Amino acid sequence: MGGDIVDLPGFVAERMGLIGTETAFEVLARARELEARGMKVIHLELGEPDFDTPEHIKEAAIRALKDGYTHYTSSRGIQELREAIAERLKIDYGVDVDPRTQIIVMPGAKPCIYGAIMATVNPGDEVVIPSPAFPIYESIVRFLGAKPVLVPLREERGFRLDVEEVSKLITNRTKMIVLNSPNNPCGSMLDPKDVRAIAELAKDRRLLILSDEVYSHITYEAKHHTILMESGIEDQAIMIDGFSKTYAMTGWRLGYAVSRKEIIDQMERLQINITSCPTSFVQRAAIAALRGPQEPVEAMVREFKARRDLIVQGLNDIEGITCTKPAGAFYAFPNVKEFRASSKELARLLLEKAGVAVLDGEAFGQYGKGYLRLSYATSRENIQEGIRRMKEFLERVEKRR
């Protein structure tokens, strides 16, 4: 995406030139074209669990349909689901939130991110965003006429946000700091000290924190620490989570935000104008996800950990590549700066010449240049074959500096 302004025909609104996209879907489309011509492509580009949605969740949706949950619901989401979200937050983190006033359910985490920024950030405001990061943050900020201020996530720090660097970027126009832990695309995690330091900084400067925690349950050696656990930040924090990653429900489209009543009220107004409410029977399935057995999630995370170890070792075995071990999510972010070709060109060559679909790190912001993102949300066999193809192509064909 990169935040470039795009020239558009006169019949399209000028503001559409400010909005970006997700490169993963563009790479997927190109990969599908190559597959249609007979190429066997190994897909390491999409951030989507390859596990099926657990049976008890699907059964709850079917039951809801049969029971007539096919109509409008509250624009905030049905009360029972908001209560189930509050229960899960209490179980997982020991925090108390009011399901009536502090939670809104929307059709995915993306609408929550958009709604949160739309409801709080004015044109001309500045928003501090980690880079590399999920490209939608920067896209939405630009689209609303605000200014994204990028803070680099450095490999030597394990791609963790540096609070001192954040502090130096804050001006009298700064309105919000964006957090994403575990991080997409780096797989890095903020530890409790990091989160606490950011919370203290935000309190001192009276800034909002938008904390995207959609990978919160896909962690390995350490547990996730939510911004909601920090005392005194409740009025300034907006926490985003969803069902896509944790419960393998990407196609169900359901997420939620937790914040102070005044912000949730405005997000509800946006929802009324855009979608009216989330899908009714999907909300019933989400209740089953939250209140039902969590063993399928635990099993999925164990498998992701095994895949993580496999892909990281394989990447580090390729001459010219180094890869840090991600602490969460399901992405590897290898350094490919040793090669003559740019990371963008390498991603193209790997797809077209080796049949391996990966993403250029720069698609996640300017500080992703020189890296690739590989999703290991696929089988071990696919990972092994993808690494074999990459190794063969890079070591035999692609020249290093």
- Whole-angstrom CA distances from 293 to 64, 106, 247, 284, 296 are 19, 23, 11, 15, 7
Residue 21, domain member (yes or no): yes
Instruction: For residue 361, give the CATH number of its domain.
Output: 3.90.1150.10
Q: How far apart are CA 198 and CA 184, in angstroms?
A: 19
Contact 116, 125 (CB under 8 A): no
Q: What is the mean pLDDT of the chain?
A: 95
pTM higher than 0.85 for the full model?
A: yes
Q: Are residues 26 and 131 in the same domain?
A: no
Whether residues 223 and 360 fall in one domain? no
Q: Is residue 301 in some structural domain?
A: yes
Distance CA 106, CA 110 (A): 9
Residue 1 confidence class, pLDDT cut points 50, 70, 90: very low
Say if residue 2's pLDDT is above 60. Answer: no
pLDDT at 329 over 70: yes
- Residue by residue, DSSP assigns 211-234 as EE-TTTT-BSSS----GGGSTT-T
pLDDT digits (tens, 9 = 90+) for 339-394: 999 999 999 999 999 999 999 999 999 999 999 999 999 999 999 999 999 999 99
pLDDT digits (tens, 9 = 90+) for 258-301: 999 999 999 999 999 999 999 999 999 999 999 999 999 999 99
Angstrom distance (rounded) from CA 351 to CA 35? 11
Determine, yes or no, domain membership for 303: yes
Structural domain span for residue 360: 14-52+296-396
- Do residues 207 and 345 both lie within one domain? no
Residue 307 maps to a domain: yes
Write the DSSP string, 340-371. Answer: SS-HHHHHHHHHHHH-EE-EEGGGG-GGGTTB
| Residue 144 near residue 118, CB atoms below 8 Å | yes
Instruction: Read off the pLDDT of each residue in 128-156 and give the average, rounded to a whole number.
Output: 96
